[in-house]
């Protein structure tokens, strides 16, 4: 909760002003029935029209004051709550940007999107409710009760007892509804995840003709949410009958006792009229308060989910005095073991020790799931090792600042992404100040120049979100060009050329070798044949290095490598 309140920031004034204005408006509102008593007693009963006009004009002024203050109160509360929501969204976004891969694994993308959007909206609505109802309403109820006491002490006791009974009954309903709401929001989250997953993967759903079965799964999730809301609404439906019943009893009591008092001259007709108006006012305030509580209870789950992200520390942070210069592209693993925080708890890399010289071209091969991606992720510090050290350019990766690592190590991930924008926009992610010549050169090295030349707008061709309007191989070449533009000291390609034909892939490797002899090139591939000409090849098997040598030597010494080669030859 503290981390949410910290986001009030520049809206402190609005947060104070809104309740103050609304309390003011509530107090003026509650004074109006008092004027009614004067109009009845001094005006209508005495047949005195000037008294009616006198108190009537007071009534008008008070009503206008109440309205004006309420108007300001609502404007301030709207500013405060939407400002708070904007600040929370910004803070969440910034926090997510700082997150390392292990933080992201913990939440999952769709959950983070839901927290940024619907959860923040829930908090905004809750803040609006608190500001508009939670100060004004109790103040108005208490003030109304004080005024009724002044009208008639004993009769006001009937009203106070009625209010207390309603308060007890309604708090019981509210406490139960909070628990139900919590469950509804868990189901709601499930529904969100389902939508996100399905819409993102709609092409796969269609290609497997899974529309029908996916719809069933969705219907089930939607049904759970519907049932949950029906359960809450059923409970909340008791609010009205409870209120009305208590109200009726209260009125019967007030009218019965009030009539007796009037008959013995202890009370005037005007006082009773005022009294009944107050009773109405108090009850309607209570009803509003109950609805607000119910609405607020629905946002508790959102507050918890947003706070969780805001208070989560990024798993990877820069050291105190970071190294900001990478001497060369050498890489060394020394007794490295690693496991994923959100995984099975078992090491996916076990006691890895190896050394790569700057400028070498290294291939990494191994069966799927043998931890090839996990190994290279440690070089650019996407994850931290659990044991041992990873040294780059002679320093432990944990000694560098993140910017240096990101600048000097380019990774083309297995699941790489392009963003909506032009070809040039996407390329410049690698180097914002790159000239068109530099971009063209990077595209030539990545063999992307040919297909860009065929596009109508060439470098200004618009790419849709995720690169949807490009072929798989075009996407991969553009991602490679983007990575090369940085002129990194280490280039890591994680199965990043898999969609290219072997001739283009070989051409790219030759260009990389000839044009960037000082750049260390680490290439993961499923096609063993395509890295036979690498300087050395790392063979991984179930998270262990079982061979690290040239193709010829591995053929002699490494059984696993021979198996991979013969399996490839059979295909
Ligand atoms: N983010 C993650 N959280 C938990 N476990 C993971 C994560 N990523 C990978 N793993 C696990 O780590 C192991 C190694 O996975 P990794 O992706 O490194 O294999 P790989 O050799 O790159 O496979 P592929 O050839 O299919 O890309 C697998 O058992 C996988 O289940
Ligand atoms: Mg992989």
Q: What are phi and psi of 74, to 5 degrees?
A: -70, -35
CB of 340 closer than 6 angstroms to any ligand 1 atom:
yes
Ligand lying nearest the CA atom of residue 367:
1
Classify residue 367: in a domain, yes or no: yes
Q: Is 377 helix (H, G, I), strand (E, B) or coil?
A: helix
Domain with residue 36: its CATH number is: 1.20.1560.10
369 Cβ inside 6 Å of ligand 1: yes
| Shortest-distance atom of ligand 1 to CA 543 | 14
Tell me: do 428 and 511 sit in the same domain: yes
Q: 478 is in which domain, residue-wise?
A: 331-570
Average pLDDT over residues 41-69: 91
Ligand 1 atom nearest to 370, measured from its CA: 21
Instruction: Please give the number of the atom of ligand 1 that sits closest to the Cα of 101.
Output: 1
Cα 448 → chain centroid: 36
CA pair distance 114, 307, nearest whole angstrom: 13
Please check whether residue 325 lies inside any domain of the structure.
no
Mean pLDDT of 132-149: 91
Q: Whose CA is nearest to atom 18 of ligand 1?
A: 371
Q: Which one of the ligands is nearest to 365 CA?
A: 1
Within a 10 A sphere around the Cβ of 439, how many other Cβ atoms?
24
Residue 270 and residue 347 share a domain: no
Shared-domain flag, residues 305 and 429 = no
348 lines ligand 1 (CB under 6 A): yes
Angle at 201 between CA 222 and CA 229, to 5 degrees: 10
Q: How far apart are CA 264 and CA 251, in angstroms?
A: 20
Which residue's CA is the nearest one to ligand 1's atom 23?
369
105 lines ligand 1 (CB under 6 A): yes
Phi, psi of 78, deg, nearest 5: -65, -40
- 499 Cα–ligand 2 center, Å: 15
Query: Which ligand lies nearest to the CA atom of residue 364 in the structure?
Result: 1
Last residue in a domain, options 260, 278, 310: 310
User: Total domain count for the chain?
Assistant: 2
Residue 272 and residue 357 in one domain: no
User: Which residues lie below 8 Å from residue 351, measured CB to CB, with a gap of 6+?
Assistant: 335, 336, 337, 388, 544
pLDDT score, position 336: 95
Helices (H), 382-463: 402-408, 423-427, 436-445, 449-454
Ligand 1 center–CA 485 separation, angstroms = 28
* Residue 266 placed within a domain: yes
Confidence of residue 287 (pLDDT cuts 50, 70, 90): confident
Question: Which atom of ligand 1 has the smallest separation from the CA of 414?
Answer: 27
Q: Is 559 in the pocket of ligand 1 (CB under 6 A)?
A: no
Question: 368 and 301 in one domain?
Answer: no
Residue identifier of the C-alpha nearest atom 29 of ligand 1: 369
Cβ neighbors of 434 (< 8 A, separation 6 or more) are 427, 428, 442, 485
- Ligand 1 centroid from CA 353, angstroms: 19
User: Which token pair is 265?
Assistant: 């001259």
404 part of a folded domain: yes
Say if residue 144 is in the same domain as residue 69. yes
Determine, yes or no, domain membership for 455.
Answer: yes
Q: Which atom of ligand 1 is nearest to the CA of 343?
A: 4
pLDDT (mean) for 386-392 = 94
CA 417 to centroid of ligand 1, rounded, Å: 19
- Distance (Å) from CA 96 to ligand 1 centroid: 22
Count of alpha carbons within 13 angstroms of residue 134, beta-carbon side: 14
Residue 318 lies in a domain: no
The answer to whether residues 131 and 220 belong to one domain is yes
- Of 439, 443, 453, 447, the closest CA to residue 504 belongs to 447
Measured CA angle at 380 (ends 475, 504), to 5 deg = 30
C-alpha–C-alpha distance, residues 482 and 504, integer Å = 17
Beta carbon of 373 within 6 Å of any ligand 1 atom: yes
Query: Span 339-366, mean pLDDT?
Result: 89
In a domain, 60, yes or no: yes
- Ligand 1 lined by 370 (C-beta under 6 Å): yes
Is 368 found in the same domain as 290? no
Q: What percent of the chain has pLDDT over 90?
A: 37
State the average pLDDT for the chain.
87
pLDDT in tens, 156-168: 888 888 888 888 8
Answer yes or no: do 19 and 69 share one domain: yes
Residue 432 φ/ψ, nearest 5 degrees: -60, -30
Rounded to whole angstroms, what are the CA distances from 348 to 380, 384, 435, 542?
A: 17, 13, 42, 7
CA 10 / ligand 2 centre spacing (Å): 46
215: CB partners within 8 A, 6+ apart: none
CB of 368 sitting under 6 A from ligand 1: yes
Specify whether 470 is located in the same domain as 509.
yes
**Are 495 and 396 part of one and the same domain?**
yes
CATH of the domain at 456: 3.40.50.300
Q: Render pLDDT for 369-384 as a digit per residue (tens, 0 to 9).
A: 899 999 999 999 989 9
Q: Do 540 and 366 meet the contact criterion of CB atoms below 8 Å apart?
A: yes
290-305 mean pLDDT: 80
Q: Indicate the range of 134-148, 165-179, 390-404, 434-448 predicted with least confidence.
A: 165-179
**CA atoms of 521 and 432, how far apart (whole Å):** 23
Domain-ending residue, one of 276, 310, 344: 310
Whether residues 301 and 362 share a domain: the answer is no
Is residue 414 one of the residues assigned to a domain?
yes
Structure-derived torsion over alpha carbons of residues 109, 113, 115, 116, reported in degrees to the nearest 10: 140
Report the pLDDT averaged over residues 157-180. 82
Which of 247, 281, 310 is the last residue before a domain boundary? 310
82 pLDDT band, cuts 50/70/90, is very high
């Amino acid at each position: 909760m503290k981390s949410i309140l910290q986001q009030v920031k520049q809206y402190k004034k609005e947060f104070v002003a809104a309740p103050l204005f609304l309390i003011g408006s509530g107090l003026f509102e509650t004074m109006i029935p008092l004027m009614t008593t004067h109009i009845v007693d001094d005006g209508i009963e005495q047949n005195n029209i000037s008294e009616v006009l006198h108190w009537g004009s007071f009534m008008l002024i008070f009503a206008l004051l109440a309205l004006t203050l309420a108007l300001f109160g609502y404007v301030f509360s709207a500013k405060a709550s939407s400002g708070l929501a904007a600040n929370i969204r910004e803070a969440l976004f910034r926090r997510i940007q700082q997150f390392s891969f292990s933080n992201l694994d913990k939440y999952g993308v769709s959950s983070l999107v839901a927290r940024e959007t619907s959860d923040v909206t829930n908090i905004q609505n809750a803040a609006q409710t608190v500001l508009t109802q939670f100060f004004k309403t109790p103040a108005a109820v208490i003030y109304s009760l004080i005024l009724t006491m002044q009208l008639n002490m004993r009769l006001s006791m009937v009203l106070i007892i009625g209010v207390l009974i309603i308060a007890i009954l309604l708090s019981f309903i509210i406490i139960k509804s909070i628990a139900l709401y919590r469950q509804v929001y868990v189901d709601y989250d499930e529904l969100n995840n389902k939508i996100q997953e399905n819409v993102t993967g709609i092409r796969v759903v269609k290609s497997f003709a899974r529309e029908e079965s996916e719809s069933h799964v969705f219907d089930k999730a939607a049904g759970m949410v519907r049932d949950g809301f029906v359960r809450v609404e059923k409970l909340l439906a008791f609010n009205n009958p409870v209120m009305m019943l208590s109200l009726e009893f209260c009125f019967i009591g007030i009218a019965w006792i009030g009539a007796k008092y009037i008959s013995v001259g202890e009370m005037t007709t005007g006082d009773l009229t005022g009294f009944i108006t107050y009773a109405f006012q108090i009850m309607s305030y209570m009803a509003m308060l109950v609805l607000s509580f119910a609405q607020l209870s629905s946002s508790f789950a959102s507050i918890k989910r947003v706070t969780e992200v805001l208070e989560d520390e990024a798993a990877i942070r820069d050291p105190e005095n970071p190294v900001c210069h990478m001497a060369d592209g050498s890489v060394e693993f020394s007794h490295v073991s690693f496991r994923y925080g959100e995984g099975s708890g078992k090491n996916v890399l076990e006691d890895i020790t190896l050394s790569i010289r700057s400028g070498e071209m290294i291939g990494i091969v191994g069966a799927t799931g043998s931890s090839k991606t996990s190994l290279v992720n440690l070089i650019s510090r996407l994850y931290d090792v659990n044991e041992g050290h990873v040294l780059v350019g002679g320093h432990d990766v944990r000694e560098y600042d993140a910017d240096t690592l990101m600048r000097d190590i380019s990774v083309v991930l297995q699941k790489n992404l392009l963003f909506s924008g032009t070809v040039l926009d996407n390329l410049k992610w690698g180097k914002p100040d790159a000239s068109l010549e530099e971009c063209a050169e990077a595209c030539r090295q990545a063999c992307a120049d040919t297909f860009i030349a065929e596009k109508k707008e060439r470098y200004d061709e618009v790419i849709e979100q995720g690169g949807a309007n490009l072929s798989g191989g075009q996407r991969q070449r553009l991602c490679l060009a983007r990575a090369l533009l940085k002129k990194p000291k280490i280039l890591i390609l994680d199965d990043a050329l898999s969609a290219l034909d072997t001739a283009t892939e070989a051409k790219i490797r030759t260009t990389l070798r000839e044009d960037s002899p000082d750049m260390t090139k680490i290439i993961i591939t499923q096609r063993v044949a395509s890295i036979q000409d690498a300087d050395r090849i790392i063979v991984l098997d179930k998270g262990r290095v079982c061979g690290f040598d040239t193709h010829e030597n591995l053929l002699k010494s490494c059984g696993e490598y021979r198996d991979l080669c013969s399996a490839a030859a059979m295909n």
